[in-house]
Amino acid sequence: MKKYNYEARDQSTDKIVKSVVQADSENSAAKLLIAQGFTPIDIKEQSEGGLLSKITGRITMKDKIVFTRQLSTLIGAGLPLTQALRTVLDQTQNKQLQSVVQEIIASVEGGKSFSDSLAKHPKEFDVVFLALVGAGEASGTLDTALLRIAAQQEKDAATMSKIKGAMTYPIIVLLVMLLVIAFMLFTVVPQIEKLYKDLRQPLPMVTQVMVGAANFVTRFWWLVIIIIIVLSYFFVQYLKTDNGIKTKDTLKLNVPLFSSMFRKLYMARLARTGQTLLASGVSMLDMLKLTSQAVNNTIVSKSIDKAADKVKGGKALSDALKSEDYILELVPQMINIGEQSGKIDEMMGKTAQVYEDELDEEIKNISTSIEPILMVALAIVAGGMVAAILLPIYSLVNGVKV
């Protein structure tokens, strides 16, 4: 089916409406609009955006949060869903998100539920988003559900921003290190080689290796670029396979220095998502199923899935999680308190807050700890470069006969 941008007059309100409709042809689109109570003014087939527009117009987490909060406020104020969506559409600047919202409006006007309309866009709205919207629709508290979604999105965005910030410094240092190595290889080392050739003296081994590397890169730079591109491509493809994902997720949970940070991140996600889902009326088993997908780590997901099987067999959630790998002790302990008080969602929220606070400290500690490691690495690289340059000079000085 094709997509058509349309401008039509709403026969009930006499207002001009602009949106998107899906139909086989322009005539079919017009008939569909008339059946929905609109008088078509202009109907044009929607053109597909190019690669550049898709890249520059990608939907960010900030766009999703603003969309969710605005929609929650408008629905809470008593506006019908389609009218609220149109109001949000008018306020949206992102072209890609505008297109998505237009399709959602067309789907809702075509008789689909809001959650089913959102489900057509899995890249923009994940399973947790859909579950919360579905629960909100069923209970008549869609505005509250959307508010909870926005709050969770903001928490996730803030946490990921801090982690990316902690990784920025070491990446910059590594890039500077590579630039220094490249500068020495292609400028200083060739001068040393030229000096030795003029004096007909053999180069020291360290310098020979560096000269060989510089000559190879200079002569076969195109081959080096091809090798880097090919290796990068296969590495990225490997990370998309089941084995690659498993390896990456296992590494995150066990790599020195970063493992504690990632484990607390996943526990915060587990607890925060669980709290949001339970507070919205999602059942325990559905909560575990959705949380398993939301943590974004296959190893932790398996632990949650095993716990879900135990809960299905009649075990309490705290007991089911207690014996599972990579589930930190505080999670089942706090859930156990919630089970006794009848406030599991509230205790999961407090657990999430604990881990989010600890995660902040962990990120600060990593930033502090990584500095001396980088300084040692930089010293080793700098020392190697200095040795490659100074050793030849010392050899020349010692070889001079007075």
Q: Which two tokens stand for residue 334?
A: 């706090």
Give the model's pLDDT for residue 397.
65
DSSP β-bridge partners for residue 10? 38
In this prediction the pTM is: 0.72
DSSP β-bridge partners for residue 20? 5
Positive or negative: CA dihedral 231, 236, 238, 244 = positive
Q: Cα–Cα distance between 276 and 68 in angstroms, integer? A: 15
- Domain limit, last residue, from 337, 354, 371: 354
Low-confidence stretches of the chain (pLDDT beneath 70):
1-2, 22, 24, 46-57, 199, 388, 391-392, 395-402
Structural domain contains residue 201: no
DSSP β-bridge partners for residue 7? 18, 42
Q: In the chain, how many domains are there?
A: 2
∠ at Cα 153 (144, 140), nearest 5°? 20
Contacts of residue 361, defined as CB under 8 A and 6 or more positions apart, other chains included, come to none
Q: Cα–Cα distance between 99 and 3 in angstroms, integer? A: 10
Confirm if 33 and 6 have CB atoms less than 8 A apart.
yes
Q: 3-class SS at 17?
A: strand
Structural domain contains residue 76: no
Give the model's pLDDT for residue 52.
42
Structural domain contains residue 175: no
Q: Cα–Cα distance between 115 and 367 in angstroms, integer? A: 41
Q: What is the pLDDT of residues 122-133, one digit of tens each?
A: 888 888 888 888
Structural domain contains residue 4: yes
Give the model's pLDDT for residue 402.
43
Q: 3-class SS at 68?
A: helix
DSSP β-bridge partners for residue 42? 7
Q: Cα–Cα distance between 226 and 232 in angstroms, integer? A: 10
Q: How far is CA 266 from CA 252, 271, 297, 318, in A?
A: 11, 9, 8, 17
Which long-range contacts (C-beta less than 8 Å, at least 24 apart) are formed by 85-90? 86/17, 86/19, 89/19
Q: Cα–Cα distance between 332 and 329 in angstroms, integer? A: 6
Identify the CA nearest to 265 among candidates 169, 149, 162: 162
Structural domain contains residue 242: no
- Domain limit, last residue, from 338, 354, 370: 354
Structural domain contains residue 217: no
Q: 3-class SS at 6?
A: strand
Q: Which two tokens stand for residue 110?
A: 């075509």
Give the model's pLDDT for residue 123.
85
What CATH number is attached to the domain comprising 335?
Answer: 1.20.81.30
DSSP state of 204: P
Q: Which domain holds residue 38?
A: 1-47
Structural domain contains residue 197: no
Confirm if 149 and 126 have CB atoms less than 8 A apart.
no
Structural domain contains residue 387: no
